[in-house]
Amino acid sequence: ESSQFDVDIFHRHYMFHPRPLLIKGAGRPSNESAGHWTRDGLLLQAGERKVEAELFPRAQVFDGSHPQKMTLREYVSLLESRTETTARKKLHYAYLPLDVSEVYLNFSATLPEIVDGKVEHMGSVFLLGGALMGAPPHHHGPALNSLAYGQKLWFLDPPGREIVAHESMYDYLLRTKGALTSRRCVQEAGDLLFVPRGWTHGTLCLSRECVGVSLEISHQMFDLRD
């Protein structure tokens, strides 16, 4: 629970000695930004923002495939048009890195209150998708992942078992018969999941829509980069 969170324990026992940590309730939007995370609020704030949806992050660079280019408003309409029959054929995921000039989605690029000012904020990625969509296994530096709406299933593997998959998460799970050796964690709306440096992780949206943000972090003393 967020009320039990201790930042010193987090630094020493989860960042320095890398272990994932799920913090219930710590990923809820702030009072100031909560309205932007609703469907109507998101469309009002960022409906005209350009989106390039792909089966997996940077697919265009890897295999030359063309992303689906549209506005965020059009992408939300695409999600709402999916049915149980068509969902498996419409798996293009909105994975939107935010830079310092971001205007439409800048409300999402803020650290949760429990760590604000206690870690370095290195970057942000806004995430939007629907059932059976998600990011296939990959790994990078430490990140805090909040989920504003939906339910998400995480697959986690410790350092030494690094994987990078260049396919949709749904196809990866079919190919591996459910990634049976990976650890699993279910993230509910309002939860915050810390994924440490070097841990391979993939996600699958279990609900009609999943909306959240990944906040890349570091710490001069407790994040061992080499």
Note the pLDDT tens digit of each residue in 34-46: 999 999 999 999 9
Confidence class for position 226, pLDDT limits 50, 70, 90: low
Q: Determine the residue type at 130.
A: G
CA nearest to 162, candidates 185, 139, 142, 143: 139
In this structure, are residues 214 and 127 in contact, taking their beta carbons and an 8 Å threshold? yes
Rounded to 10 degrees, what is the CA torsion of 173, 178, 181, 186? 90
Contacts (Cβ under 8 Å, ≥6 apart) of 27: 112, 144, 145, 146, 147, 148, 190, 191, 192, 193, 212
Tell me the whole-structure pTM to 2 decimals. 0.93
When computed from its CA atoms, the radius of gyration of the chain, rounded to whole angstroms, is: 17
pLDDT, tens only, 114-172: 999 999 999 999 999 999 999 999 999 999 999 999 999 999 999 999 999 999 999 99
Cα separation, 64 vs 5, in Å, equals: 44
Amino acid at 112: P
For residue 224, what pLDDT band results from cuts at 50, 70 and 90?
low
| Cα 152 from Cα 189, distance rounded (Å) | 9
Q: Which alpha helices (DSSP H) does 143-221 contain, by range?
A: 169-175
- Residue matched to tokens 């989860």: 14
pLDDT tens figures, 14-35: 999 999 999 999 999 999 999 9
Distance CA 52, CA 24 (A): 31
Residue 200 · residue 161 · CB < 8 Å: yes
Angle between helices 39-46 and 72-81 (to 10 degrees): 150
Amino acid at 88: R
